[in-house]
Amino acid sequence: MKVLVVGSGGREHALVWKIAQSPLVSAIVAAPGNAGTARIARNVRVAADDVDSLVRLAGEEECGLVVVGPEVPLALGITDRLAELGVPVFGPTRAAARVEASKSFAKDLMLRAGVPTARSWTADDPDEAVSRAREAGFPVVIKADGLAAGKGVVIAGDETEAEAAIADALIRGRFGPSGDVVLIEEHLTGEEASVLALTDGENVAFLAPSQDHKRAQDGDAGPNTGGMGAYAPAPVVTPDLVEFARSAVFEPTLSALRELDGTIYRGVLYAGLMITPEGPKVLEFNCRLGDPEAQAVLPLLDADIVEVMMATTRGELDPASVPTRAGAAACVVVASEGYPGPYEKGKAIAGLDTASSMDDVIVFHAGTADRDGEVVTSGGRVLGVTGLGSDLASAIERAYVGVRAIRFDGATYRTDIGHRALRKCGMP
């Protein structure tokens, strides 16, 4: 069959890379793709949020499966549109994608399902929002209700910072309609973890648990980013915690969606957890694979991903068909200088072939483009270099060997990916 992969980031390159390993696949189309997907798939210049054109493309290409990487086309209803044409889609419907598209909806759903989460309040009036922030106490978390490309969350340390974050959303309109409502949430402390599962609406199959690194600089300092690296499996997610997630988070949430309005959730459901002193609590849901978590998790999936995706779309997912292979994977993001703020594009990238030819190293492209036969930077997060190993320490070591082989003007990366897990293992 021919498969269409929607998106252009590192997650989508990882998906194309994994899908290409399936004997069921005859060809892959990436829309719009990047310089990395172009080596495996045929890139087509259709934006990931241009649902009309994507639906038309899937029909013209006679695709047997569409795999949607980012959240925006899911929130816009691409799955619903393609379903009308009888095209299988790996990704939830518009109604199901509300778990990410609206933080207030997700919070209400968690309360309905009895899922442990932080106390919160919603407000569309600035004065009410500031009052709620005072009620929550500082530090406090301010979230734009809708999709904001990972930039809609602020941890405010005091009232001044809270007022500024609220004004950004509700007065200055920084996030457009996504910021017309804000969620005021108590600040939770502990260690974060990403638990991703495939689900057909009833059955739940967990991928290797992972941990992202959101801050731009070593030691978890600097501004929040889309993610500077990830590793899997994360030792903070014990087998008992996985079972807790199944029984107290995933299954109740899926059931609550069905009971609410008959919504059947099919695709990836991502729970961001905070392991607090009082126990695990859900920070957020995402309706797709994480980025860069996908770059660490997918290499550990010991299955034909296309078979699994097709079973998911049919409501026939067998959790036993989604095994995780032994060992570990670590992804280090190489970013443009200035990210997550302003950055320059068009920097020539050297060393890609050297890094890609190394044993136990996979180079996933994110913000890259082809320019006259040369690969250049085109985004803030440029590459995700994944190392594989028998244990986490060796996987991290391989990732950094690959990173050091790559060069472009202004390249920057964290040098401490996996530091929490290494400490847990007694390593420096």
Does position 8 have pLDDT exceeding 90, yes or no? yes
Domains of the chain: 2-93 (3.40.50.20), 125-180 (3.30.1490.20), 191-321 (3.30.470.20), 328-424 (3.90.600.10)
The pLDDT, as a whole number, for residue 236 is 95
Residue 382 scores a pLDDT above 70: yes
**In this structure, are residues 216 and 152 in contact, taking their beta carbons and an 8 Å threshold?**
no
Give the tens place of pLDDT for each residue, 25-81. Answer: 999 999 999 999 999 999 999 999 999 999 999 999 999 999 999 999 999 999 999
What is the average pLDDT across 386-399? 98
pLDDT confidence of residue 224? 86
β-sheet with 191-199: strand ranges across: 204-206, 191-199, 267-276, 279-286
- Among 141-150, 258-267, 271-280, which is the least confidently predicted range? 141-150
Identify the residue whose tokens are 């095994």. Answer: 323
Token pair of 182, please? 């804000």
What is the average per-residue pLDDT within 304-328? 97
* Out of 63-72, 217-226, 290-299, 356-365, least confident range: 217-226
Confidence label for 426 from pLDDT (cuts 50, 70 and 90)? low
For position 428, what pLDDT does the model report?
58
Confidence class of residue 284 from pLDDT cuts 50, 70 and 90?
very high
User: pLDDT band at 132, cuts 50/70/90?
Assistant: very high
Round to whole Å and give the CA distance between 194 and 77. Answer: 25
Burial 218-238 (b: 16+ CB within 10 A, else e): eeeeeeebbbbbbbbbbbbbe
Burial class (CB in 10 A: 0-12, 13-18, 19+), 416: middle
pLDDT (0 to 100) of residue 427:
61
Taking residues 302-326, what's their average pLDDT? 97
CB-based contact 33:96 (threshold 8 Å): no
pLDDT at 149: 81
Tell me if the bond preceding 209 is cis, omega within 30° of 0.
no
**pLDDT of 150:** 77
Determine the Cα–Cα distance for residues 198 and 265; give it in Å rounded to an integer.
10
Confidence tier at 145 by pLDDT (50, 70, 90)? very high
Report CA 164 to chain centroid distance, whole Å.
27
State the Cα–Cα distance between residues 141 and 119, nearest whole angstrom: 11
pLDDT confidence bin for 121, thresholds 50/70/90 = very high
Short-list 381, 334, 345, CA closest to 150: 381
CA–CA separation, 178 vs 143, rounded Å? 10
Q: How far apart are CA 111 and CA 144, in angstroms?
A: 19
**Among residues of the chain, what percentage have pLDDT more than 70?**
99
Q: CA-CA distance, 251 to 370, in Å (whole number)? A: 44
- Residue 87 and residue 319: Cα distance in Å, rounded? 24
State the Cα–Cα distance between residues 49 and 42, nearest whole angstrom.
19
Note the pLDDT tens digit of each residue in 207-255.
999 999 999 999 999 988 999 999 999 999 999 999 999 999 999 999 9
Mean pLDDT of 83-87: 96
Does the N-terminal peptide bond of residue 32 adopt cis geometry, omega within 30 degrees of 0?
A: yes
**Average pLDDT for the chain:** 96
